[in-house]
Amino acid sequence: MTTVTTQTAVKPKPVKLADGRHRCLLDTCRKAFTPKRSDQCYCKTDKRDCKLLSHKALKAATTTRKRKVYTIPADAHQRYRIMDAVRAAGTVQILKTWIGDVEEAAATINVLTATNTANLKNGKNTFHTCHVDAVKHSHRMGLLSSQNLFVGLGTRNRAAKAFSSGMGQSISRLELKAKWSVDANMSNADVWTMIEEFVGIETLTEACRKAGLKPSAKAQAIANLEEVIDLNNPEHAPFIKVLNNPKSTAVELQMAVAEIQGKRVFSMKLKATTEQEILFSEIRRHSVFRPELDFLLTPINKMYTTYTDDAGKGHQHLIGVLSEDHLQTLFNLLQGHDAEHMVEEVEELMFGFNFASRKMIDDKAVSDARKARMDAHTAYYALSRDERAEFDAQRQEEADILSGLIYEEGGDVFRGSVNTIVFCESYIPGWTPF
C-alpha cells in the first residue's frame, strides 16, 4: 500500500492584544483592530483588504518566473559565418578576445550581422567583412574581433588582398596550438563543439542571445506553416507539397501560410545602404578605440543635415556625396594605412568633404529662399481683398522711396512724378539711371 502525503499551508494564528483587539498580520499594516471573529488575523476597511493583500504578497514570493532557456539556432546565418572564419584561419584561436567576454563576442557578431544586412538591402553580395589585420599574414594572424573587423566593399577588400597594418588585433603564429587546429575535413558539428569548448559555452550562448541570433527566415516560415496546415484537409494538399519540398524557398513558404490565413504577403523594399554611409558608420565605431581616425569625425558630421518630422522626432539625412577616390581613401584609413604616408590622398579627401559641405550649404540657401517665396506667396493670397490692397500700397510706397519718386527736403516729404525724375536725370551731373 502506497501512502501519498500532501503538504498543506500552515494556517496563521491571530495575535491577540490585552484590550481584546487583534494585531493585523500584514507587514505593511500591523494595526490593531476589533475582530468580528476570534480567528480573524487581518483587518479590512473600505479602502484596504489586508487579507487579500497578504495572499497577493505570498503568491508573488512563492512564484518564480521561469526564464525561457535560449539555445543558439543551428541555422542562424551568423553561426555559419563564424565557422567559415574559423575554417579559413585553420584554428579557433582567432576567437581569443571572446573568452569570458560576452560584450566583445556580441559586438563581433553584430559586425557579421551588419555585413549580412547591407547585402540584404542591396540585393547582392556587395559587401564583405574586412580585416584590419589579415588572417593570412605570414607572422601574425588577424583575430575575429570587433576591433579588427569592418564592413567594406567587396571589390576593395579583394584588391587589398592580405594587407596587414599591425593596427588591428592579432595573434602571433608562434602562439598557435595544435589542440585548437581546425582540419578541413571536420564537420560543422565538430567545429562548433570546438568553438564552444574554446570560448566557453555559457559565454558563447549569452553572446548569441544578446546579438539576437534567430532561426533563418526559412526555418521560421516552416514552423509557421506546420502550425496552420491541416494534414487531413484535402484543400491543403498544395501547401503540404510546398512544406515537404526541401527546395521550397522562404517566400514560397510564407505565401503558403498567408494563403491559408487569407492574408496578403507584402514585399517590403528596403532602402539600399550606400558604401559611403557604411564607411562613415564604421569610422565612427572604430574611432572609439583608434584615435588616429578622430580627424574624420567633424567633416563626416557636416555631411548630414537634420530635420524634424511632424511628430517632433529628429532625423539625420545624408546629402553630401564623395567621389570613388575619396571612398577608397576612407577604406584605406579604416584598414590601417598611415595617414602621414597618404598626405596627397588625405588632402584630396578633405577637399572633397569641404566641397560637398559647401554644396550642401548653397543648396540649402537656394531651397530656403525658394521656400520663403512660396510661403510669402501663400500668405499674400490668404489675405482678404482689402488687406491685399493695403499691402500693395505699402509695397508701392517702399518702391517709390527707393526709386526717388518720394523724397524728403527740409523735413518735408514730396512726391514727384515720373516726368520730374526724367527731367532731373538730364540735369544732374554723374546721375546714373536705374
- Select, from the ranges 27-36, 227-236, 282-291, 410-419, the one with the highest average predicted confidence (pLDDT): 282-291
Whether residue 237 is contained in a domain is answered as yes
| Domain match, 347 and 367 both | yes
Across 60-183, where does the E strand assignment appear?
Answer: 127-131, 140-142, 149-153, 170-172
Whether residue 342 is contained in a domain is answered as yes
What are the grid coordinates assigned to 68, written together? 525561457
CA distance 253 to 197: 36
Q: What does the mean pLDDT of the chain come to?
A: 82
| Residue 211 pLDDT greater than 60, yes or no | yes
Number of folded domains that form the chain: 5
| Domain match, 298 and 325 both | yes
CA distance 43 to 25: 9
Count of Cβ atoms closer than 10 Å to residue 420 Cβ? 14
| Domain match, 131 and 170 both | yes
Distances from the Cα of 38 to the Cα of 22, 33, 34, 49, 202, angstroms? 9, 12, 10, 18, 56
Tell me, rounded to whole angstroms, the distance of Cα 425 from its chain centroid: 69
Whether residue 117 is contained in a domain is answered as yes
| Domain match, 373 and 283 both | yes
CA distance 115 to 120: 9
What are the grid coordinates assigned to 403, written together? 526709386
Whether residue 390 is contained in a domain is answered as yes
Quickly state the pLDDT bin for 291 (edges 50, 70, 90): very high
| Domain match, 373 and 340 both | yes
pLDDT at 14: 87
| Domain match, 131 and 112 both | yes
Question: Which of 379, 394, 415 marks a domain boundary?
Answer: 379
| Domain match, 252 and 236 both | yes
| Domain match, 151 and 226 both | no
Domain that holds residue 164: 77-210
| Domain match, 199 and 252 both | no
| Residue 376 pLDDT greater than 50, yes or no | yes
pLDDT at 401: 67
Q: Are 138 and 101 in contact (CB under 8 A)?
A: no
| Domain match, 82 and 193 both | yes
Q: Are 127 and 152 in contact (CB under 8 A)?
A: yes
Whether residue 432 is contained in a domain is answered as no
User: What are the tens digits of pLDDT across the range 226-280?
Assistant: 888 888 888 888 888 988 888 887 778 888 888 888 775 544 445 667 899 999 9
Over residues 301-313, the mean pLDDT reads: 76
Q: Are 26 and 50 in contact (CB under 8 A)?
A: yes
N residues, the chain: 434
- Concatenated DSSP letters of 338-407: -GGG-HHHHHHHHHHHHHHHHHHHHHHHHHHHHHHHHHHHHHHHTS-HHHHHHHHHHHHHHHHHHHTSEE
Whether residue 1 is contained in a domain is answered as no
Q: Are 142 and 94 in contact (CB under 8 A)?
A: yes
| Domain match, 359 and 324 both | yes
Amino acid at 158: R
Indicate if the alpha-carbon torsion angle 87, 89, 93, 95 is positive or negative. Answer: negative
Whether residue 364 is contained in a domain is answered as yes
- Select, from the ranges 11-20, 213-222, 335-344, the one with the highest average predicted confidence (pLDDT): 335-344
**Which residue reads 584588391 in cell numbers?**
159
Going by C-alpha positions, the residue among 305, 302, 306 that lies closest to residue 352 is 302
Higher pLDDT, 169 or 429: 169
| Residue 424 pLDDT greater than 50, yes or no | no
pLDDT at 280: 94
| Domain match, 320 and 417 both | no
Query: How large a percentage of the chain has pLDDT more than 70?
Result: 79
Q: Are 313 and 326 in contact (CB under 8 A)?
A: no
- Any residues with CB less than 8 A from the CB of 348 and at least 6 apart, and which? 325, 326, 329
Q: Which of 15-19, 76-80, 93-97 is predicted with the least confidence, judged by mean pLDDT?
A: 15-19
pLDDT at 288: 93
Widest CA span of the chain, in angstroms? Answer: 136
CA distance 199 to 97: 9
pLDDT at 1: 41
Give counts: helices (H), strands (E), the chain: 15, 11
